[in-house]
Amino acid sequence: MRVLFLNPYHGGSHAAVAEGYAARSEHQVELLTMPTAGGWRWRMRGAAVALARMAREQRPKPDCILTTDMLDVAAFRALYGDPSVPVAIYFHENQLTYPLPAGRSRDLSFAWANYTSALVADAVFFNSDFHRRTFLDALPGLLGRYHDYRELETIDVIAAKSSVLPPGVDLKRHDGEELEFDVRTPTLLWNSRWDYDKQPETFFAALETLEARGVTFRLIVAGEHVDPNAAEFVAARERWSQHIIHWGYAADPVRYSRLLWQADIVVSTAIQEFFGIGVIEALYAGCIPVLPRRLTYPELLPTAYHADCLYAADADLADRLHHVISRRDELRRRDWRAIAEPYDWSLIAPRYDEALNRLLTSR
């Protein structure tokens, strides 16, 4: 079939998923994208007008349309004007439950756009079951804010057409960059985005505790940063300079792959993670995960690994890291790669194709 993939915020994981699927689908997938420079707020407010115009100009018209949570689908469908073309929405994140920085209040207009988009879409895809559950669980609080016409029964309508499609990851691109395992000093990897919702300060506080205990380690900080010159970023780099193998976003794919293979332990302290592509990439390279017992992480790892790899509270991170470092040789022998391999595009793209096949058949 001919699939039109609308991506109003074409950057980061949004771009990676759109381009990855378009390159590997058995369908003919055409991308209509908008750059991130306009900011996500403007994209959620205004992208529907521009993308509806561009979609109307497509010849021949698509068999179905796939878009993301950055599009106001209700506005788009009204402006597009062709109800015969089914529309599916893919939720990378949502504005009902995304944690806010200190001092900022939630703009419910964006949360409402996510709700109405899910309501009018013919199919709703989430990148994890954790995301699906938290979104549906948050809807009664959104609708219940109002004194009448709450339409709470629409939540069941959305749930009935919701399913989970994890993002595909180009894992095979990391092959061929394997490095010999260093039996000496353990290497910790931070490959999360440098922002408030990933809590880098919690990670560095745990490093302080490890150093105070006399634990030796090396450090790879390869996450994307919002402002590399931010005072706390500069201070952390200076503080840990004697431990650093690499610091800063690794834009070169080959360099990033080598860093993954060079690391022993991948660490997250996130308070927002709806899937966890960076963790999956590190697992593929054999890293031992140390992750919070929250968000999507418990469902990423087999239950048998939870005791070793998940920590209950931020204050427990140093203890969990110390535990994993002390058992590094033993834990490295586990087949971490096997956890990641099911998310390679070679296995995920057919799942997307089949989901869109079902969408078209149901119509």
Number of CB atoms found within 10 A of residue 3's CB: 23
pLDDT band at 180 (very low <50, low <70, confident <90, very high): low
Confidence (pTM): 0.95
- One domain for residues 326 and 283: yes
Residues 238 and 250 in one domain: yes
Q: Which two tokens stand for residue 190?
A: 């931070």
State yes or no: pLDDT of 22 exceeds 80. yes
Identify the pLDDT of residue 363. Answer: 75
| Shared-domain flag, residues 110 and 259 | no
Q: Domain residues for 268? A: 171-343
What distance in Å separates the CA atoms of residue 347 and residue 166, rounded to the nearest whole number?
Answer: 11
**340: nearest Cα among 308, 296, 300, 309:** 300
* Contact by Cβ (8 Å): 301, 289: yes
Q: Does residue 339 sit in the same domain as residue 349?
A: no
* Tally of domains within the chain: 2
CA 80 to centroid of chain Cα atoms: 29
6 and 149 co-located in one domain: yes
Does 134 lie in the same domain as 72? Answer: yes
Q: Which residue has the higher pLDDT, 177 or 199?
A: 199
User: Do 297 and 335 reside in the same domain of the chain?
Assistant: yes
**At residue 182, does pLDDT exceed 70?**
no
**pLDDT tens readout for residues 217-257:** 999 999 888 787 888 889 999 999 999 999 999 989 999 99
Give me the CATH number covering residue 197: 3.40.50.2000
Same domain, 10 and 129: yes
Residues 212 and 311 in one domain: yes
Average pLDDT, the chain: 95
Q: What is the pLDDT of residue 121?
A: 98
CA angle 352, 356, 359 (to 5 degrees): 145
- Mean pLDDT, range 334-355, rounded to an integer: 98
- Tell me the C-alpha to C-alpha distance, in Å, between residue 347 and each of 4, 170, 271: 21, 11, 29
CA distance 69 to 47: 11
List pLDDT tens digits, range 109-140. 999 999 999 999 999 999 999 999 999 999 99
Average pLDDT value for residue range 186-203: 94
- 243 and 125, same structural domain? no
For 292-321, what is each residue's pLDDT tens digit?
Answer: 999 999 999 999 999 999 999 999 999 999
| Residue-level pLDDT at 181 | 57
Whether 147 and 179 share a structural domain: no
Sequence-distant (6+) residues with CB within 8 A of 298 are: 306, 310
**In the beta sheet, which residues pair with residue 188?**
219, 265
**7 & 51 share domain:** yes
